[in-house]
Chains A and B, each alone.
Chain A
Amino acid sequence: MSKYEINELYDHTQEPFHLKHLLTDLGERTLYDAAAQCNRCGYCETVCPTYMLTGRETISARGRNQFLRLLIEGKIRDTGSAEESFSTCMLCGACSSVCYAKVPTPDLVLEGRRSKDGYGQSLPARLGMNLLLNNRGLFEFLLKIGFLLKRLGLAALAGKLGLYSFIGMPSLGAAQDSLSNAPLKFLRDIFRMDTALSPEGKKEISWAYFAPCGPNYVFPEVGLATVALLKRFFGDGVFADNFCCGLLAYNYGRITEAREFAKKNILRFEELKDILGDFAIVGDCSSCVAFMKSYEQLFTGDETWRPRAKAFASAVKDILEALPAEKLHKIKGREPAEGETVTYHDSCRACHGQGIRSEPRAALRKLVEKSFVELPESDWCCGGAGAYAFTQTSLSNSVLDRKIKNIASTQAGTVLVGATSCLLQINAGLRKKYPSAKAVHYSVFMDNLTKC
């Protein structure tokens, strides 16, 4: 498809561990063509958080594109030299949002990371992904032990045992402080027991709830709220009884496992579809939802799975976009107290990853018009970015500080978010620097507002 067949980034034996083609806003592109679309106009520099904070081209969106391009062209050989450039990227996607040609910088950065020797080979990455993929029972068992230790006030012990690292979630260990309520019963345990959410006896449904790992393992109340909302406004639905979306594996550099996760979910979707016809797959963590919407890209080299992934992706919806304002109505006595303000943080994978901006705002304006204030730089990343907060602590803190400062400027008591990574990160920041506000997941807030 391209005139230019150069790719010095990795040799052909590595092809299975990379994306074959990228699905960009301008169509399907080879890696080189996608990178070469950047004409260095620099517009991305106005929104790239790491550039804005440091002023360094090297850790800017444009710099990362140039690095990758030079690697592809073989003009630099050592992927290691790009280490800082690639590893500091939060993959927030703000750059692609402002880019005229929508150069997919986060995807390019990931391709760069994947070309690094040993990337994705760390013990937690390998073990954890393997466990989650093939032995979910053991994974969950170990996680519960960790949470139990925390509840017993022995959080440090779990860390010391290397428990979280072992299951591929070192960030969870480090985030202990942010987990106020480590659940001992996961969302999946709850929903599988709930006959109202079972496909049995149903002929058609309009939605299936997809439980992302965040709500599933850490914030079950989010999933409960989402399902309550879906029932309230769309009637009958089912629990998809899904697997991890695969984003964790994808970001860890383990693309093969990411594909496996995706296939499991696609199969699950197809099974349900056979019985229940068309329905929307609704998730409530924007990172996972955005990733699932891009499933097709995982399979650009695979003609069997590609159309199936595409069909799956087109059924996926974020709860942020799923609730149309016209369907919502206020329930008396449920609106926020007089003088209490609510603001909305655009989770990166919602606004940049899926283009969701107006829908939640329209809904909020309808329900809490008087209390709603816009957050300055609402689409500035919170710095959570998966494990970023733990791998790039100082940068992540600076990114978070700016978010907290903006939140403080609105004097809001509640900050709504759509991704669980943001929930963890923003609440951690607020606790330290602006304890009068709290981050709340959009579903939880909306459920409270509309509950009879």
Chain B
Amino acid sequence: MFKKHRIEGIRRDLEKAVGAENVFTDDAEILMYSYDAGMARAKPEAVLLFTSTNQVAPVVKILYAAGIPFLPRIAGTNLSGGTIPLRGGVILNLSLLNKIRQIDTVNRMALVEPGVVNLRLQQELDKFGFFYAPDPASQKVSTIGGNIGENAGGPQCLKYGVTCDNVERLEVVTPEGDIKLWAHSDPGPDLMSLIIGSEGTLGVVTRAWLKILEKPKIIKTAVAAFASIDNAISAVTKIIGAGIIPRALEAMDKVSLDAAKKSLKTDYPPGTEAILLIELDGSSDRKITGELRHIEDICKASFSTYFRTAADPAEREALWQARKGAYPAMARLAPNVLVEDGVVPRPRLPEALKETRDILSKYKITAGLLFHAGDGNLHPNMIFDERDVQEVKRVNKAGYEILKSCIRLGGTISGEHGIGVEKRVAMNWMYDAATLDFFDAIKKAFDPKDLANPDKILPVAEDRRAKENSFQPDLLGEAAAALISELRLRRDKGVKSAVKGLGTRLYADPAARGAKALETAGLNRILDLDRENLTIRAEAGLPVRELKKWLKKAGYGVALPDLDGTLGGAIAAKAWPDMRHILLGMDVAMADGSVLSFGGKTVKNVAGYDALKLFCGSLGAYGVILTVTLRTALDAGPQQGPAKDVRNKFRPDDYHRRLKKAFDPGNLLNPWIYGE
């Protein structure tokens, strides 16, 4: 079905690059790379097995020059069809690139190759008393390369963040075959984070420097049973609302419990509809004991029918057995399990669960509900037999409806499994045409010939919905509307702008730079403090100090140091690189006056490219930040660390320039950054 001669033409070059014995094109071999753990199927034309990371760039160069699509694949456990070669081409099999190159406990960093299995890294780190935070349920088999490709999460991510919060630097082979070293703390837009979760569409990761953490001295685990899911969720909301951040806060419903019963050592009271698994960690026994007591009180107030703290590691392990045993148990009930992955803001969980259950019963599907309750990530485990065509249809329909319900409730279509091919169409429901165009522009900038894992993440042309102007800037308020119309005016006249907040970071005289100041100081409203969800949304012109003062008065805090200038300015200058951990959403005005909206109120979101991070350090040259949504906490949060001033150190990479060209072809915004 594909033109086989495409490979034959470059075969000799490929053989030279990886060794003749590692170039596979026979029918049997390529057939075995036509599937992953999802449902999609397509055969590649060749499979290349790599034995050294150094082979990747030369091979990609050859393929790019020949116009042959390619994608990296390791364990092939993808749940959204991400590793299926939709347009044939070449599979880059990186599974033998599985060395842990360095574990540096002083600098708290591990340098690994992409094929390292997550659990193996954990086991090695454990010997030194360290751990790597992302712990996807598949960690026994999934690899760091795959985890990076999907921006994987896991139970511990509630406290420690998902993959992109735990990577320091990446070596990336770009679609054209260039080798890049990108760190999130580099001056300028954060290209490293853009790669994370990009599912191989923007390049191939060949080495990763991961953040490793010292294992907490004390870990305590408790389990609570409830007679209704709503009660359980109300407890979750209150726990988080009380300022406690558990290491994990997992929930499971009765169906999963029943399925997992075999492996359960504990009997929960009759009538149990849901259980919560709560785990705390830290170094102070007193603090944790106190928090546990607090949690127990909260659970009781939410009518828990059972509460128990594990007395020893063995009992702790037994408690986890229920949670960990649920998926395996479902996998025994039927040949296939489809695990959905929607996310909603935590307080909307009860509604989301109700809607999910209604949808499941409407389509007559058996599913166990497992969820990372702490961060609003739902995993209905729907069981079916893929040989039953009708059943597959029902499962797919139900899956889509569940995703739509998540979007309606202010959430997202994927928290940690990725979009791949199976949720591609759902991107249409999630984003307006302008945002999808923006993602397209990123893809094009990185991969002009569209060869790196093509047709993934972004809806293909025939699925695209018609363009409409769904975004109404007036929803943003007067100041923003004024700024946007000013931008449009300047666009039409070709007038260049210097984005200016309080002028903290804009030392240069705009006029001398051939630009006219564009004031954001009027954008200074606080838009929404969501006390249950613990998020704050504010306009970008608001001074950071004012935001902090306001929050403090309201009894909240935010993990930001006392930075000069405005919120938008601090982000655009990447004045506090760790801001990446609390940045949840953003509205941005682009140079042409269009307005894009990224992220939102959920703590997890892997739908589309991580644009938020791209604006972190963008120095006002990619777009004008209008609003910002941040994660808040009850206490003021860490204040440590000096604020960095990176603005003068920025030396644009070729890819920064490409993106600039895509977002602002007329170089209208802060034109000096990319030179005139």
Contacts and interface: CB of A to CB of B under 8 A. Distances in A.
Interface in A126-185: none
B93 A56 contact: yes
The winner among A38, A41, A84, A100 for most chain B CB atoms within 10 A is A41
Interface in A49-91: 54-58, 62-63, 66-67, 70, 76, 81-82, 84-85
Contacts of A45: 75-76, 141
A42 B387 contact: no
Contacts of A40: 35-37, 76
A42 B141 contact: yes
B331 A100 contact: yes
B32 A55 contact: no
A55 B37 contact: no
A234 interface: no
Contacts of B336: 39
Q: What DSSP secondary structure best describes chain B's contact surface? A: loop
A70 B331 contact: no
Given A66-B35, A100-B331, A43 B141 contact: yes
Best-surrounded residue of B31, B77, B117 (most CB of chain A within 10 A): B31
Nearest to A62: B76
Interface residues of B, number: 35
Nearest to B115: A55
Contacts of B96: 54-55
A46 interface: yes
A42 B75 contact: yes
A26 interface: yes
A144 to B, nearest CB: 43
A41 B387 contact: no
Interface string A189-227: 000000000000000000000000000000000000000
Interface string B1-42: 000000000000000000000001011110111011100000
A interface residue count range (under 10 / 10 to 19 / 20 to 34 / 35 or more): 20 to 34
A42 B76 contact: yes
A54 B28 CA distance: 16
A57 B32 contact: yes
Interface in B370-397: 385-388
Nearest to A37: B335
List 9 tightest A-B contacts by C-beta distance, closest first: A100-B328, A55-B95, A55-B96, A42-B77, A81-B28, A100-B331, A58-B32, A57-B32, A63-B32
Contacts of B549: none
Contacts of B115: 55
Given A76-B31, A85-B28, 14 more contacts: A3-B388, A37-B335, A38-B335, A39-B335, A40-B35, A40-B36, A40-B37, A41-B331, A43-B140, A56-B32, A57-B33, A66-B32, A81-B27, A85-B32
Interface string B326-340: 011101100111000
Interface of B: 24, 26-29, 31-33, 35-37, 49, 75-77, 93, 95-96, 115, 117, 138, 140-141, 327-329, 331-332, 335-337, 385-388
Contact of B141 (A46, A55, A56): A46
Nearest to B39: A40
Contacts of A70: 31
A315 interface: no
A82 B28 contact: yes
Contacts of B138: 41-42
Contacts of B77: 41-42
Given A42-B76, A58-B28, A36 B385 contact: yes
Contacts of B37: 39-42
Interface in A1-55: 3-4, 26, 33, 36-43, 45-46, 54-55
Nearest to A103: B335
A82 B335 CA distance: 23
B325 to A, nearest CB: 9
Given A39-B37, A56-B49, A100-B331, A84 B141 contact: no
Contacts of A26: 332
Contacts of B26: 81
Nearest to B29: A58
B180 to A, nearest CB: 25
A42 B37 CA distance: 7
B93 A55 contact: yes
A123 interface: no
A58 B36 CA distance: 13
A39 B392 CA distance: 14
Contacts of B35: 40, 66
A61 to B, nearest CB: 12
B335 A36 contact: yes
B501 to A, nearest CB: 49
Given A39-B337, A40-B35, A46-B140, A57 B331 contact: no
A45 B37 CA distance: 12
A57 B336 CA distance: 20
A56 B21 CA distance: 12
A331 interface: no
A66 B337 CA distance: 17
Contacts of A62: 76
A101 interface: yes
Given A36-B385, A46-B117, A41 B141 contact: yes
A54 B115 CA distance: 13
Contacts of B386: 36
A36 B28 CA distance: 19
Contacts of A56: 24, 29, 32, 49, 93
A66 B28 CA distance: 11
A342 B335 CA distance: 42
Contacts of A67: 28, 31-32
Nearest to A44: B141
A56 B386 CA distance: 25
Contacts of B49: 54-56
Nearest to B383: A39
Contacts of A66: 32, 35
Contacts of A101: 331-332, 335
Contacts of B140: 43, 46
A101 B76 CA distance: 19
A284 B166 CA distance: 51
Contacts of B31: 67, 70, 76, 81
A3 B389 CA distance: 13
B468 to A, nearest CB: 39
A152 to B, nearest CB: 43
Nearest to A70: B31
A258 to B, nearest CB: 28
A54 B32 CA distance: 14
Contacts of B329: 100
Nearest to B79: A41
A39 B96 CA distance: 24
**In the complex, which of the residues B24, B328, B335, B386 has the most CB atoms of chain A within 10 Å of its own CB atom?**
B335
Contacts of A100: 327-329, 331-332
A42 B143 CA distance: 11
5 contacts: A26-B332, A55-B93, A67-B28, A70-B31, A101-B335
Contacts of B24: 56, 58
A46 B98 CA distance: 12
B81 to A, nearest CB: 11
